[in-house]
């Protein structure tokens, strides 16, 4: 299916399309929704899988297409992925079951058991709420609307079994609409079919008080782990400006997803980025009032987006879509990525959920070659976000200026660091502070052609060492040599403590490798303070991000 933006079509009665108008061509990549549904439904009847799941209570949690990052990059994009991983949860035996297979060979699968606890799905949360409705004390409040359930942080509660493995226990927030109930967060143990309650009304590292902050939330289904990739070509007149592969958050790469992801980004027929995304996102509170938390970026919330669905998870809109940052509303008519043209920019935007947090993943690509990555922060009603907290998104920009190799990174300082030159080359892997006093920025350029892109810090991106939660954010910029096994830092837990390190562990990638005239990756972190209680009228969160500008292109 190919679609053109309505903004690119002549309107009735108009003479012609303006010469500077942007036209979009969108082509789906990968298997369609019907194919995935058919394969996933058939899995439970596969003989190898029945050996694990027969006579058990179980649920399919996710079905995804992991694309391993190659150590040696291909010259051209690989064919659409057909290798998949399906994750079941076996509640009878309290274990996750992993099924690895290929759509092209439906009879061949590899089944294994995992000891980890996958993030819960919305369907599990709904099951937990239904179980609470049968409780003698809480059930009546839920049934008649005096208690409103919500998804809190952390989403899972640690309940250890006699075998040493956590029993799958879903956290459910209960917000009183009337005063006869107290605000609390409870756990529903899906293994023992029991309710877990807490003396302080919430598990450790969370809160449930009478005071709540943030917009009202809308209970709705969300999407995680599914198909959703499209090729997008942006033209102006007869000139192709942009061509890239866009991936929805629910299908994004990384241990915990990475928001709206761009791959194989070409501007005017020349490669800029191999991959650009946000694989790491965390938050810390002043005085550790809650958390800290390592969040996820593969669970899509709802936005208001009117238009035409052009692929699973992608909607082409004739007017800008709106998110909670624009309206203060958690409601919406669409979950996925909205694409629209605004002036001379093509915009991709999606809203994501992690418990009570709402995150905005946005990319703005201008006709002049400028890329504006943006990440936004908001939250819905709960007690924790009444406390000042600090969000830290970590973009990963895998630059391939013209080629995967022959790239180098230069840093600008004014006044200069050494001698009279404002620019100097980074020779080995390094972590660098932002340093606004020196107007610091970075340039990734091809050592043969001289073409490049500048990374210009945004005015709201903060500085790690000036953040109130330093040294938690760890740094601002990491300049690294590309390695296929460094897509993220591998952390797959939510709450700090008990072996869960929520800080970004990017320093472990800095090991002195040469980076000049090689394949380089830039990690860029922003540090944003969110004080919900003191937001201005009409303000519903914050947004940040750098600017990527072409040089000698």
pLDDT band at 1 (very low <50, low <70, confident <90, very high): very low
| Reported confidence tier of residue 474, pLDDT bands at 50, 70, 90 | very high
Spacing of C-alpha 60 from chain mean position: 22
Quick check: 370 and 335 in contact, CB under 8 A? no
Residue 553, pLDDT > 90, answer: yes
What is the pLDDT confidence band of residue 7, given thresholds at 50, 70 and 90? very low
The pLDDT tens digits for 210-258 are: 899 988 998 777 776 677 999 999 999 999 999 999 999 999 999 999 9
**Where residue 98 sits, what CATH number does that domain have?**
3.10.450
Domain-located, residue 209: no
Share of the chain above pLDDT 90, in %: 81
Mean pLDDT (whole number) for 497-502? 84
d(Cα 227, Cα 455) in Å, to the nearest integer? 31
Same domain, 365 and 412: yes
Q: Tokens 């400006």: give the residue.
A: 241
CATH number for the domain that contains residue 337: 2.70.98.20
Q: In angstroms, what is the C-alpha Rg of the chain?
A: 24
Instruction: Kindly state the average pLDDT of the residues 268-273.
Output: 98
Q: 37-91 pLDDT, tens per residue?
A: 888 889 988 999 999 999 999 999 999 998 888 888 887 788 888 899 999 999 9
Two tokens, residue 533: 């209680």
Share of the chain above pLDDT 70, in %: 96
Residue 423 lies in a domain: yes
| Cα distance between residue 17 and residue 287, in whole Å | 57
Question: Integer distance in angstroms from the first to the last C-alpha of the chain?
Answer: 32
Q: What would the 3-class secondary structure string for 75-92 be?
A: CCCCCCCCEEEEEEEECC
- Does residue 422 sit in the same domain as residue 476? yes
Looking at the fold, whether 131 and 153 belong to one and the same domain comes out as: yes
Q: Does residue 16 surpass a pLDDT of 60?
A: no
The rounded distance, in Å, linking the Cα atoms of 64 and 118 is 13
Is position 211 within any domain?
no
Number of domains the chain contains: 3
d(CA 261, CA 316): 17
Give the range of the structural domain holding residue 269, as residue numbers without chain letter: 223-551
Cα 475 to Cα 462: distance, rounded to the nearest angstrom: 11
176 within domain boundaries: yes
What letter would DSSP give residue 70? P
* 326 shares its domain with 414: yes
- Domain endpoint, select from 196, 231, 256: 196
> Residue 71: its pLDDT value, please?
87
pLDDT at position 14 is 37
Do residue 149 and residue 260 come from a single domain?
no
Of 179, 196, 213, the last residue of a domain is 196
- Are residues 86 and 144 located together in one domain of the fold? no
Q: What is the pLDDT of residues 437-469, one digit of tens each?
A: 999 999 999 999 999 999 999 999 999 999 999
Asked if residue 184 and residue 54 are part of one domain, the reply reads: no
Say whether both 307 and 343 belong to one domain: yes
Residues 242 and 126 both lie in one domain: no
Considering the domain architecture, whether residues 339 and 428 belong to the same structural domain is answered as yes
Pair type for strands 520-525 and 261-267: unpaired
Inter-residue contact 19 to 233 (CB < 8 Å)? no
pLDDT for res 10? 37
User: Does residue 202 lie in a domain region?
Assistant: no
Quickly count helices (H) and strands (E) in the chain.
5, 33
Residue 18 lies inside a defined structural domain of this protein: no
Q: Mean pLDDT over all residues of the chain?
A: 92
Q: Who has greater pLDDT, 16 or 262?
A: 262
Check whether residue 483 and residue 338 sit in a common domain.
Answer: yes
- CA dihedral 33→35→37→43, nearest 10 degrees, is -150
State residue 32's pLDDT score: 81
Same domain, 106 and 127: no
The pLDDT of residue 414? 97
Q: Are strands 423-426 and 407-412 parallel, antiparallel or unpaired?
A: antiparallel
Instruction: Tell whether 144 is covered by a domain.
Output: yes
Residue 174 included in any domain: yes
Q: Please list, in sequence order, all residues whose beta carbon lies within 8 angstroms of the beta carbon of residue 453, skipping any fewer than 6 positions away.
A: 272, 371, 399, 401, 443, 444, 445, 548, 549, 550, 551
């Amino acid at each position: 299916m190919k679609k053109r933006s309505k903004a690119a079509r002549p309107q009735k009665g108009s003479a012609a399309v303006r010469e500077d108008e942007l036209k979009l061509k969108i082509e789906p990549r990968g298997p369609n929704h019907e194919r995935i549904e058919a394969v996933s439904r058939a899995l439970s009847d596969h003989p190898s899988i029945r050996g694990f799941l027969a006579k058990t209570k179980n649920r399919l949690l996710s079905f995804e297409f992991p694309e391993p990052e190659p150590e040696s990059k291909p010259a051209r994009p690989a064919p659409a992925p057909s290798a998949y991983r399906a994750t079941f949860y076996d509640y009878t035996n309290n274990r996750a079951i992993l099924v690895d297979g290929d759509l092209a060979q439906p009879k061949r699968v590899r089944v294994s058991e995992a000891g980890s606890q996958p993030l819960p799905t919305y369907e599990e949360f709904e099951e937990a709420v239904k179980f609470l409705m049968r409780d003698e004390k809480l059930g009546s409040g839920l049934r008649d609307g005096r208690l409103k359930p919500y998804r809190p942080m952390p989403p899972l509660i640690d309940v250890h079994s006699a075998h040493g493995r956590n029993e799958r226990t879903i956290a459910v927030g209960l917000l009183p609409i009337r005063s006869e109930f107290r605000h609390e967060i409870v756990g529903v143990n899906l293994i023992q079919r029991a309710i877990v309650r807490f003396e302080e009304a919430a598990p450790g590292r969370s809160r449930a008080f009478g005071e709540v902050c943030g917009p009202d939330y809308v209970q709705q289904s969300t999407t995680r782990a599914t198909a959703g990739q499209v090729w997008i070509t942006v033209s102006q007149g007869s000139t192709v400006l942009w061509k890239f592969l866009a991936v929805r958050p629910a299908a994004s790469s990384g241990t915990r997803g990475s928001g709206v992801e761009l791959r194989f980004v070409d501007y005017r027929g020349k490669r800029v980025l191999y991959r650009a995304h946000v694989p790491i996102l965390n938050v810390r509170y002043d005085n550790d009032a809650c958390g800290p938390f390592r969040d996820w970026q593969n669970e899509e919330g709802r936005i208001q987006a009117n238009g035409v669905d052009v692929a699973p998870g992608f909607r082409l809109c004739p007017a800008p879509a709106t998110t909670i940052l624009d309206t203060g509303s958690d409601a919406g008519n669409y979950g996925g990525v909205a694409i629209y043209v605004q002036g001379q920019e093509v915009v991709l935007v999606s809203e994501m959920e992690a418990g009570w947090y709402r995150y905005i993943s946005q990319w703005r690509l201008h006709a002049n070659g400028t890329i504006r990555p943006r990440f936004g922060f908001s939250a819905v009603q709960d007690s924790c976000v009444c406390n000042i907290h600090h969000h830290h998104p970590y973009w990963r920009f895998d630059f391939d200026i013209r080629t995967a190799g022959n790239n180098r990174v230069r840093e600008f300082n004014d006044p200069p660091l050494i001698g009279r030159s404002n620019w100097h080359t980074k020779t080995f892997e390094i972590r660098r502070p932002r340093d606004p006093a020196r107007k610091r920025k970075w340039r990734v350029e091809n050592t043969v052609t001289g073409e490049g892109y500048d990374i210009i810090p945004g005015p709201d991106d903060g500085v790690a060492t000036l953040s109130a939660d330093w040294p938690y954010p760890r740094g601002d910029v990491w300049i690294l040599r590309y390695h296929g096994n460094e897509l993220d830092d591998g952390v797959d837990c939510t709450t700090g403590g008990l072996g869960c390190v929520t800080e970004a562990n990017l320093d472990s990638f800095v090991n002195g490798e040469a980076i000049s005239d090689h394949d380089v990756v830039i990690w860029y972190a922003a540090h944003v303070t969110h004080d919900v209680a003191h937001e201005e009228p009409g303000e519903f969160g914050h947004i940040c991000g750098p600017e990527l500008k072409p040089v000698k292109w």
